[in-house]
A = this chain, B = another copy of it.
Amino acid sequence: MIKAGIIGSTGYAGGELARLLLQRDDVEIKWYGSKSYVDQKYASIYQNMFEIVSDSCMDDNIEALAEKVDVIFTATPQGFLASALNDRILSNAKVIDLSADFRIQDVNIYEEWYQIQHKSPQYIKEAVYGLPEINREKIKNARLIANPGCYPTCSELSIYPLVKEGLIDPDTIIIDAKSGTSGAGRGAKLDNLYCEVNENIKAYGVGVHRHTPEIEEQLSYGAGKPVTISFTPHLVPMNRGILITAYASLTSKVSYEEVKSVYDKYYGKEFFVRVLEKDVTPQTKWVEGSNFVDVNFKIDPRTNRIVMMGAMDNLVKGAAGQAVQNMNLLFGLEENKGLKLIPMFP
């Protein structure tokens, strides 16, 4: 039995983690950590958990938690883990961080984009970027996992193979991303009120969104050189789902079959990445509630560009599901254990 603790269990990603872990019989949640709801019944915060969880919320004392569990998930604001992490914690428990604190190797870039001082730069190098489809082997032996961001997960899985294989010019990559509103968190902000989001779509953070350097770093590893991208996220009136539509110039004339074979090479054996059939465009609804990423592409001979598309549930493969996938790897379990969820439709 794996004993797990969640710091930040009352946010949307934390709640999804609880949902995924509670459906397993080999994991036990020992700690529902929270900043705002200490001592309140967890099931009163998430009424869907009524008669399922009887625990009350604990605080966010990660040191105390580390002595009680095998794995800690931190679904916390940026800076929390970097401020709290130490060797004792890491020697007691595996840490899977859903925040951005350890995703970016260059601390200066982190501090510039996140406008925050990094309090534990000494752990950055050790942290493993938890995208199993690319970093599987490194993840297995890590102590500290930097669970990827939602937009980066979908973007990287859609684009990486073509960058790595040299089919596209990395200097031309433009990512237009669309996200459901759960990505904005459960904070009571005017901008996220029902009446402000419903029947509306807008871009936000244009040119300055903090997931940009994370995507750039990962694509750089594929390109073998620094990559600079355009990244524009949009807020869409739906609860869950991320769709990315990415554009790049092809480095040479390629056929549908050639590109398809590249995707198949990378993902043919991947359980969670589905390369759709020709001309079927990814839809967020087709992956809702599951850990799948659906990808596809379209070559446009008129412009010599390729359009790469990916759809994913931002709370599952974009957060909690991927964290569980990483946990499975860390503990030597089957990677898709507890994650063979079929998307819910409609």
Contacts and interface: CB of A to CB of B under 8 A. Distances in A.
Interface of A: 12, 15, 19, 22-23, 46-52, 174, 176, 178, 180-182, 186, 188-190, 192-204, 206-207, 228-230, 232, 234, 236-241, 243, 245, 247, 274, 276-277, 280-290, 294, 298-300, 302-303, 305, 307, 309, 311, 340-346
A190 B185 CA distance: 11
Contact of A345 (B15, B189, B193, B202): B15
Given A236-B237, A344-B289, A346-B12, A243 B203 contact: yes
A230 B12 contact: no
B309 A203 contact: yes
B202 A194 contact: no
A184 B334 CA distance: 40
- Count the copies: 4
Contact of A238 (B200, B245, B309): B200
Contacts of A343: 48
Contacts of A283: 47, 200-202
A203 B284 contact: no
B305 A199 contact: no
Q: Which 10 A-B pairs have the closest CB atoms?
A: A200-B285, A195-B346, A48-B343, A176-B176, A194-B197, A202-B283, A207-B300, A206-B298, A181-B194, A47-B286
Contacts of A195: 12, 181-182, 186, 192, 239, 346
Nearest to A46: B345
A309 B232 CA distance: 11
A50 B199 contact: no
Contacts of A48: 285-288, 290, 342-345
Most buried by B among A23, A207, A309: A207
A190 B186 contact: yes
Contacts of A178: 178, 201, 234
A199 B307 contact: no
A196 B194 CA distance: 8
Contacts of A287: 48
Contact of A239 (B51, B300, B346): B346
B234 A247 contact: no
Contacts of A346: 12, 182, 195-196, 198-199, 239-240
18 contacts: A48-B290, A48-B345, A50-B276, A174-B247, A174-B305, A176-B247, A178-B234, A180-B199, A181-B194, A181-B195, A182-B346, A186-B193, A194-B194, A198-B198, A199-B241, A199-B285, A202-B281, A206-B309
B176 A50 contact: no
Given A188-B193, A288-B199, A298 B243 contact: no
B284 A201 contact: yes
A307 B207 CA distance: 8
A241 B342 contact: no
Contacts of A197: 194
A189 B201 CA distance: 21
B298 A207 contact: yes
Given A178-B178, A283-B201, A300 B230 contact: yes
